[in-house]
Amino acid sequence: MRRLNANPSKSADKETGLKTTIKKDDNSLKTLLLLAWRCWPYYRLQLRHIITFVILNSLIGVAILGFTMLSSDLIENKILLGERLQPVQAQILFLDNTFVTSGEGNYEKLSSHQRKQLRQNLIILGALCWVIYTAYAAAMWYYMVWIFQAVNQQLRSEMLSRAEHLSLKYHSSSRTGDAIYRVYQDSATITNVLQFVILTPLRILAWVGFAAIVLIFFSPWFGLIFIAAAFLIAGIMRALLPHVREKARLSRENNSVLTSNIQETLTAIRVIKANGAEDRMMDKFRADSQSALDAAFDMRLFMSLLLLSTSIVAFGAVMIAEYFMATWAMHEKATHLGGVIALVGYAAWNLGAFKAASAQAEESASSIWELAFTLSYVQDLVVGLKRAFFLLELEPEVADPEKPQPFPTNIKSIRFDQVRFGYEEGKNILDEINMSVESGTITAIVGTTGSGKSTLMSLLLRLYEPLTGRVLFNGFDLCNISKSDVRSNVAIALQQNILFAKNITENICYGRNDITQIAVVNAAKIACAHDFILEMPDGYETELGERGGKLSTGQRQRISIARAILRDTPILILDEPTASLDAETERRVMQNLAAWGRNRVIFIVTHRLSTISSADKIAFLEDGRIKEFGNHSDLMAKAGGYKDFVDAESIGARDETKG
């Protein structure tokens, strides 16, 4: 017995986002690492580029730090105070040994001419470095965007592919706008994870680490200040980050609802206008939009509190450190391990040392602020990434067998054997369906609205799986045949008449690339569409516009029938194919279908009495069961059931004609 999976419509309450043990409220470091690891398959294909990008950025980072320290000392101590250069500094600036401190202790000040030449060379070097850095930064930005988009494209494609392969049970019970938001918006978080969970924190920690080492070289007391500030900032983050995370979840959920409502509004725009409901829909949109906006503002409120608190602590630590720096500079106190940084000549505290150490401290505080911002943003990424992976990790309810059987070469019979189906446990749409039809026949599936007619036909396409029972093709269980094999041998024309913003030929050929124009014309003739197509401005090349808006409902129906006929499959399903056709056109279409389907099995889901009466067999559904099965004459000879249905439809048809 097949078990029905959990209803995905309740995914907002049940999704975990990972097959691991991550819970909805578990957003610890472990969760973050697991999410990052879940992204690995999408990063792996671009791993070579990612590593190259990290190495190149690390090199430019080291170069910038080195140049900053070098230029600070040259400006503050050499150009302004006239102190002599270190040998390495002179070599970098292409200056001779007259600018260098000699081994005999020559500490005479640089002359005004030497200072001028030093300034000139430093300006030239700085300009050259700026040009190189600008070009380098532009190239790196382009390279980064290219890598990120390649990763994102892969994830989006897989998400949409997975959504397409989920059964109609999922799509029937889930909002389309939610899936759109997941594929388009939530999927983008995978590139942001790479940037804000991996690359940006690494860069920030590298900068802070470098600044901490430099400051400790100046004085080990700065290490204690660092540690004290780090403990305070960690406590602040621990208190506020969960609030940011919760508000981020609400923000994305509200935006998903908003997207769904927009999609539903635009889809039903004709109904809305026809019922004068524009103002009501706008009120609903404003309310949903305001909810999404409020949630986004709440998230940013807690982000602001976090950033403000960490900034106060970080820059407060800087102010304490700068107090000691200024005091030591006034007394020209020796720096700790000054010889280690002899390159920039800070053996003792002076103006240059004060500015260099102060700059590093302020850079550290700024980096801490950026880290707080990054971690705040990461909370939103975690929520978005879970939503993206949730769609990826939904298991299709209709799965292919490990060793599928081939589709029967010639369909001789189709039999429903004790078939039961429902979207939810305990609520069956179909119950104990038993029916057998033969090749070369047209079978009408009739019944009141909601009796399960369309659902019954969907089982033939493996859009759903029966809970119990079997659908047999020539005695072979349909579940033992692959989905692609089944759907390539079953054609369907849906009641919705879905057409695309393409020309008529492309709409009829949709999904096929091996069709000749002659075959298109023949299919159109069988569907009685050929004549009106020729009357169109460009015939078969006429562009239909969005959803076939240039055609009438009846014309769209005939295009859909032609599309199904063109597939030339042994099984054809027509869902209300003639509902919008006039009586004469309907008669011709049914005659053509009967002639075309001599070696095929045709099912027609319909309410039209003229269509029903011309069918070879009629299956009358009531409350999910086939109450009666036979031809029109035999069923009309019985009391109740089908006869009552026909009488009711006849009265309705007469009333409609009078109206």
pLDDT tens digits, residue range 293-314? 888 888 888 888 888 888 888 8
Q: Tokens standing for 545?
A: 């516009």
- Residues 499-557: tens digit of each pLDDT: 777 888 888 887 777 788 899 899 999 988 898 889 888 888 888 766 556 778 888 88
Alpha carbons 633 and 205: distance in angstroms, whole number: 84
- The predicted-structure confidence for 86-144, as pLDDT tens digits, reads as follows 788 888 888 888 888 765 555 678 888 888 888 898 889 889 988 988 888 888 888 88
- H-type helices in 436-481, by residue range? 453-460
- For the chain, the C-alpha Rg in angstroms (whole number) is 37
Distance, CA of 5 to CA of 394 (rounded, Å) = 10
Terminal C-alpha separation, the chain? 51
Alpha carbon 25 to its chain centroid, in Å, reads 22
State residue 172's pLDDT score: 47
Give the relative orientation of helices 351-392 and 176-184 as an angle to the nearest 10 degrees.
140
> Confidence band (pLDDT; 50, 70, 90) for 383?
confident
Complete DSSP assignment for 31-46: HHHHHHHHTHHHHHTT
The sign of the torsion formed by the CA atoms of 68, 73, 76, 82 equals negative
50-75 pLDDT, tens per residue? Answer: 888 888 887 887 788 778 777 877 88
CA angle 50, 54, 57 (to 5 degrees): 135
Contacts of 611 (CB under 8 A, 6+ apart): 444, 577, 578, 586, 590, 604
Helices 517-526 and 553-566: crossing angle in degrees, nearest 10, is 120
In the structure encoding, which two tokens stand for residue 506, read together? 């492309």
Q: Where are the alpha helices (DSSP H) in 104-199?
A: 112-165, 168-173, 176-184, 189-192
Task: Please report the pLDDT score of residue 155 as a whole number.
Answer: 67
Predicted pLDDT at 1: 35
Whether the predicted pLDDT of 560 surpasses 70: yes
Give percent above pLDDT 90 in the chain: 1
SS3 content of the chain, % helix, strand, coil (to 5): 65, 10, 25
Quick: pLDDT tens for 397-429.
667 778 888 888 888 889 999 888 887 777 788
- 74, 118 contact by CB (below 8 A): yes
Residue 26's pLDDT band (cuts 50, 70, 90)? very low
In this structure, are strands 617-622 and 625-630 parallel, antiparallel, or unpaired?
antiparallel
Instruction: Specify the higher pLDDT residue, 272 or 525.
Output: 525
Task: Give the residue extent of every domain in the chain.
Answer: 20-392, 412-487+603-659
Residue 217's pLDDT band (boundaries 50, 70, 90)?
confident
Q: Count CB neighbours of 152 within 10 A.
A: 18
Reported as a single tens digit per residue, the pLDDT across 321-346 is: 888 888 887 877 776 765 444 444 56
For 596-646, what is each residue's pLDDT tens digit?
888 888 888 887 787 888 888 888 888 888 888 888 888 888 877 888 888
Query: b/e map of 382-398 (b: 16 or more CB within 10 Å)?
Result: bbbbbbbbbbbebeebb
- DSSP 8-state assignment for residue 552: -
- What is residue 499's DSSP assignment? -
What is the distance between the alpha carbons of residues 479 and 486, in angstroms, rounded to a whole number? 10
CATH number, domain 412-487+603-659: 3.40.50.300
The torsion angles phi and psi of 40, rounded to 5 degrees, stand at -55, -45
pLDDT digits (tens, 9 = 90+) for 427-469: 788 888 888 988 888 898 888 777 888 888 888 888 788 888 8
Whether CATH 3.40.1190.20 fits 20-392:
no
Cβ-based neighbours of 310, under 8 Å, separated by 6 or more? 233, 236, 237, 368, 369, 372
Give residue 496's pLDDT.
Answer: 64
User: For 193, which DSSP code?
Assistant: I
Q: Closest Cα partner for 99 from 202, 655, 109?
A: 109
